[in-house]
Amino acid sequence: MLLSGGRLVAFLWRRAKKPVSLDGDIRAVCEDRGTECQVRLSGRITIDSSPGLRLLLLRRLEAPSCQLLTVDFRDVTYVDTSGLVVLVEVLKATRAQAKIFHLSGLQERPRYLLEATGLLHLFPEVNSEMPRSNHSSPVSPQ
């Protein structure tokens, strides 16, 4: 919000939702909100899906407009150790670029794996505000 000549003017950040196909186990919907890039994941992060997820997250991070990367795990049911490797690598990349990396919506199994490995404290958690939309459905591979 900005005052201009006594009038209140609102600026809305462009919200571009981009469904991304990763593999049969995991799907992603990406959304840009100004300097924040959000990635909502659904499915299972396994040794088969983690290379595609790694590539997606590192590419999102490379965008100059992306200063804060938030990954929403609300619909992720399973993460194996290859998924943890991806998260640690993305965390290192964000720190090297002086950017911020958050997780949100961690559910039982993914949260337990991060706790059991002693990694949970490395990842700041936030509440996700990324709305679910029927207009932007994730694309799964064929």
C-alpha–C-alpha distance, residues 99 and 111, integer Å: 23
Can you list the domains of the chain with their CATH numbers?
18-126 (3.30.750.24)
- Assess whether pLDDT exceeds 80 at residue 7: no
Model pLDDT, residue 31: 94
Please tell me whether residue 106 adopts helix, strand or coil conformation.
Answer: coil
Q: Answer whether 102's CB lies under 8 Å from 124's CB.
A: yes
- The label of the residue with tokens 């794996």 reads 113
Task: Tell me what the mean pLDDT of segment 13-38 comes to.
Answer: 80
Q: How many CB atoms lie within 10 A of CB 13?
A: 10
Residue 140, pLDDT score: 38
Q: For residues 117, 121, 122 and 125, what is the CA-based torsion angle, rounded to 10 degrees?
A: 120
pLDDT for 106: 94
Q: Residues 46-81: pLDDT tens digits?
A: 999 999 999 999 999 999 999 999 999 999 999 999
Q: What are 50's two structure tokens?
A: 């983690």
